[in-house]
Amino acid sequence: MNLAAATNESLANTSNVLIYSSMAVYTLAFFAHIAEWVLGSRSKVGRTAAALSASGASASASAATGGKARVGGTAVLDRPEVITRSATGTRDVPDGPGAAGGTFKGDLWGRIAVSLTVVAFLVEASGVATRALSVQRAPWANMYEFSITFSTVAVGSYLVLLALKKNVRWIGLPLVTTVLLDLGIAVTTLYTDSDQLVPALHSYWLWIHVSTAIICGAVFYLGAVGTVLYLFRDTYESKLASGGTPGKFATSVMERLPSASTLDKFSYRINAAVFPLWTFTIIAGAIWAGDAWGRYWGWDPKEVWSFITWVAYAAYLHARATAGWKGRKAAYLALVAFACWLFNYYGVNIFVSGLHSYAGV
């Protein structure tokens, strides 16, 4: 074995160690996020509402005289926010205080969780970079490399939103959970030894086309998380508006999240922002296909499902911009579109044979 080969093998082993190390730190971040949700109390709105409800007429009388009520020795300083409807099918509902529940203890654990996520991200990014150095090419030529890069970009996108002071810390727990699952599948099922590319992949379009596909998938994932939570929160708000009483667990979780309206806007803006990049990804892939195979479009399974994904997101954005399809109907379309993206990655690569199958898993 020559020196170059030995160096590349050493770098590949180092990459593996870094990926496993990032999984360990992500696991710590996962437990810290759990602690944030468990130790953070219910929001001020929920606590005040519960106290006023328990006190009945006594609390109402006290609030009428002094603006304050005492229930079981606990001062209630604020009236609960009232859910009102600003228009048909919409609600004016305040955002929740976040996973920390507005408490010092919960916020402390949340900050620890974010700090651990930053450390894990840096370790994982180092693993991806080391993998690239070991083969001296872009680190996304097979499903293993795509997976570790995808999770790195997803976490990086989340951290960028946090750095921009966006209210997205509620994404932390589902994100870290998904990253652990993604890396677990990558290292156990999808792992492929670092190797050189087949001739068709020796192109600068590998950097352009695949990198944009990874970025799109990572951001689409964040939009999908927001959409799923929107559906839960919308159901919760609808139950409250109709006079129902959600369970204690649902109340404790749902009231900490942003309002359904906020989650809906977040998902829409995220998907709308990245959709032009997904369009460019398909165009770049077509140009690369023309260079590599002599045709721009050949109805290869990967090409077909990329186009189906594009159509699904286009339908969602069109439906979301149409008054009759806002809310839950559009949200279902968004989830269908993301499911198409997932199948395009996992389903087509594993179960369908085509020109893109040369990369293996």
Q: pLDDT tens digits for 9-35?
A: 888 889 999 999 999 999 999 999 999
Assess contact for 176 and 114: CB atoms under 8 A: no
pLDDT of 1: 54
Average pLDDT (289-305) is 81
CB distance 306 to 343 below 8 Å: no
Mean pLDDT value of segment 264-287: 93
For the cut 70, the answer to whether the pLDDT of residue 354 exceeds it is: no
- At 56 the pLDDT is 45
CB neighbours of 264 closer than 8 A, spacing ≥ 6? 230, 234, 326, 327, 331
Q: Judge contact between 76 and 52, C-beta under 8 A.
A: yes
Which amino acid belongs to residue 268? Y
Query: So what's the pLDDT on residue 353?
Result: 63
- Percent with pLDDT over 70 in the chain: 80
pLDDT of residue 10: 85
- Which one has a higher pLDDT value, 20 or 360? 20
- Please provide the average confidence, as pLDDT, over all residues in the chain: 81
